[in-house]
Structure 1
Amino acid sequence: MNHLWQEIRHNPILWLLALVPFVFAAKMTSPEAHTLLFLLAVLAIIPLATLLSHATESVAAKTGDAVGGLLNATLGNLTELIIALAALRLGQFTLVKASVAGAIVANTLFMLGASFLLGGLKYHIQDYNRVNARLQTSLLFLATVALIIPSAVASADYEVPSEFMQKLSVGLSVVLIIVYGLGLVFSLKSHSELFGSTEEASQEQPWPLNVALVTLAGVTVLVALVSEIFVESVQEAAVTFGMTAAFVGFIVVALVGGAAEMASAFSGARKNRLDLSVGIALGSAAQIALFVAPVLVLLSYVIGPSPMDLQFWPGAVVMVLIATMTATIVTNGGHSTWFVGVLMLMVYLILAMTLYLLPPGGQ
């Protein structure tokens, strides 16, 4: 574990790891200090995300960017899944759906856009495998269709029985999970030659694989635990900072929950490994839409007080559709510059500003 210790010693950001035990101590001693817990949790997630980024890059160096991106997306989404499961047990279905939709939009627009911007500021033009981008955006579009259908049916003139909506949601969930599994077989096995990296391998010395995997597992658990404390305190802290409930669920929770993945994506872009960044951003969004959301629907029959359906409110569906179409158009060429990143971030800013200014009655 000498590699890990050396990394912590030479990276000042990782010195913030000392705050992690303070988060748990504050939770035990002052559970009602929501604003303090909120700030400590955010500061603790930053070094954990940085550490997770280094470990993921080491795994990607051994396994390739396609598998490395998938691994990071999976471990990163574990945080969102744990948070959503906690809310699911309490029957907070609105929070679950807001975090799911918000994570899809944040990964597609903010994470990918910021990666293009950060990489473009260092390199004039960056290339990436557009076949992988096309596959992920196609999967996202399919998931968006599955979200639109229940909302469209519920908005029809005639009254829709709740039994029908639950059966439709279960059917759609099974279809999405099957498609996600077939997509993995297509990209990692049957047509893996189409998903190779377009850039040269990193010249940096990676960590040993066993150190990287242990770090990935351990840090992911810590991120999940700290994120859970964050979610418990964020609602009360939001009132202090003047944030609406819609903004908190869709923007703040999504950004903090995806901090680990974002650190890896941004680092990859700065090292001209844009395939890793695109794989993390779009792969994570597709995984949430086609796997995490359907699994939550199925698990609600086991751990929830009542079954949850896939009927999202129209505003959330529209934002997911906008994010998917933006990513599809932008990634079609397989090239990126810093201004492309700016455009994607501006789309995300428009959505965030709308939610921030949304009156209480519109939430």
Structure 2
Amino acid sequence: MTAGLSTLFREIRGNVVLWLLAVVPVVFAVKLRHPEAYTLLFVLSVLALVPLATLLSHATESVAARTGDAVGGLINATLGNLTELIIALAALRAGQYMLVKASIAGAIVTNTLFMLGASFLIGGLRHHVQEYNRVSARLQTSLLFLATIAMLVPSIVPDADFAASSTFTQQLSVGLSVLLIGTYALGLVFSLKSHREFFGSSDPAEHGEAALPLGMALATLAGVTVLVALVSEVFIESVQEAAVTLGLTSAFVGFIVVALVGGAAEMAAAFAGARKNRLDLSVGIALGSASQIALFVAPVLVLLSYVLGPTPMNLLFWPGAVVMMLISTLTAFLMTSGGRSAWFVGVLLLMVYLIFAMTLYLLPPAGQ
């Protein structure tokens, strides 16, 4: 344990970005003393999330070095999405269902386009051509496509009888949530147990030694995830007021800003894996996180809304969000079907993401 702590402290001393960990207690201090300083809290929380994400990526790499990239990507996606789940639960209790749905849709689009595209770009600039397991990528994009269909169906329910339509939509959302959670569980069994031989790493590079002992890496993963969740709550509380001050629309904040900050930990690990020619880890984190949000986090929130929310939440998203999720899924499927990547593939994915971001910034959805 002592050796693990020494290794962890060496990591912090040797990385300038990790020195920003000093901002973490400042966030909580400002929150206690000046809770109305929304813009300051917004800036500080973003600065605090950067080193926490970097530290989380180091711990994840240490775990992945022993468990393999498939399990390592699943662990990172799960812990990263745990933070987003905690944030969504806070919004759920407050009845802010539009914010919950915007963050869900934004996280799916951000992971499939921005995180995956940036990983391809970063890795491609350092390595001429990179390879990854296309079978794993195809499975994740197929799961995403299924979830997108489930989110599309409630939006095409006839609304001739509003009361009947509302009841039907709610019942349908519960049924779809159960089906999606069951599909996600079967997908884990398929990829990690019954057919795990098809989901090994395609990366020929040497992975090297783990930076941290396994016990310390797991403890760091757990501890940092809790800190990320706490700082993210401060971020969510301050981001709406700060957005008004900075001139940002609520749609842009929920779909783009919240998704980017909420996925900072996963992005740090994905980008680090791409730089080290471990693209299987990067693809596993990006697509695995997106499919986990779509098939697990979103349906769980629907079911928990019956207990925690003022009223039940459904899977009825506004049409623009469904279209963006569908386009993102199809784009990711096309770009990952070959199992090879170069830097320009990342540029194409990022361009699609920027088109969506620009559209939301200039023309938010109706009612926002």
TM-score strictly above 0.5: yes
What is the aligned partner in structure 2 of residue 174 from structure 1? 178
Counterpart CA distance in 2 for 1:316 and 1:201 is 40
Find 2:25's aligned residue among 12, 21, 27.
21
Counterpart CA distance in 2 for 1:360 and 1:174 is 29
Given that 2:7 and 2:211 are in contact with CA atoms closer than 8 Å, whether structure 1 keeps it comes out as: no
Counterpart CA distance in 2 for 1:110 and 1:252 is 12
What is the aligned partner in structure 1 of residue 323 from structure 2? 318
Find 2:68's aligned residue among 57, 64, 67.
64
Given that 1:46 and 1:259 are in contact with CA atoms closer than 8 Å, whether structure 2 keeps it comes out as: yes
Aligned: 1:332 with 2:337: yes
Pair 359,251 (structure 1): closer, same or farther in 2 beyond 3 Å: closer
What is the aligned partner in structure 2 of residue 128 from structure 1? 132
What is the aligned partner in structure 1 of residue 38 from structure 2? 34
Pair 125,64 (structure 1): closer, same or farther in 2 beyond 3 Å: same
Q: Deviations over 1:206-259 (max 9, x none)?
A: 311001000000000000100110011000110111111100000000000000
Matched letter for residue 272 of structure 1: N
Taking structure 1 as the reference length, the TM-score comes to 0.98
Matches within 5 A, 1:97-176: 97-154=101-158, 159=162, 160-176=164-180
Given that 1:244 and 1:360 are in contact with CA atoms closer than 8 Å, whether structure 2 keeps it comes out as: no
Matches within 5 A, 1:109-258: 109-154=113-158, 159=162, 160-199=164-203, 200-258=205-263
- Corresponding residue SS for 1:161: helix
Identity of aligned residues (%): 75
Counterpart CA distance in 1 for 2:334 and 2:202 is 20
Counterpart CA distance in 1 for 2:139 and 2:365 is 38
Give the drift of 1:202: 1.3
Given that 1:130 and 1:331 are in contact with CA atoms closer than 8 Å, whether structure 2 keeps it comes out as: yes
Q: CA RMSD in A?
A: 1.1
Q: Deviations over 1:302-324 (max 9, x none)?
A: 11111000000101000000100
Counterpart CA distance in 2 for 1:167 and 1:109 is 32
Matched letter for residue 90 of structure 1: A
Give the drift of 1:157: 5.1
* Structure 2 unaligned blocks of 5 or more: none
Given that 2:65 and 2:210 are in contact with CA atoms closer than 8 Å, whether structure 1 keeps it comes out as: no
Q: Deviations over 1:92-120 (max 9, x none)?
A: 10000000000000000000000000000
What is the aligned partner in structure 2 of residue 274 from structure 1? 279
Pair 211,249 (structure 1): closer, same or farther in 2 beyond 3 Å: same
Given that 2:65 and 2:209 are in contact with CA atoms closer than 8 Å, whether structure 1 keeps it comes out as: no
Give the drift of 1:158: 5.3
Give the drift of 1:201: 3.4
* Structure 1 unaligned blocks of 5 or more: none
Taking structure 2 as the reference length, the TM-score comes to 0.97
Corresponding residue pairs, total:
362
Aligned: 1:288 with 2:286: no
Give the drift of 1:161: 2.7
Given that 1:56 and 1:264 are in contact with CA atoms closer than 8 Å, whether structure 2 keeps it comes out as: yes
Q: Deviations over 1:155-193 (max 9, x none)?
A: x55544321111100000000000000000000000000
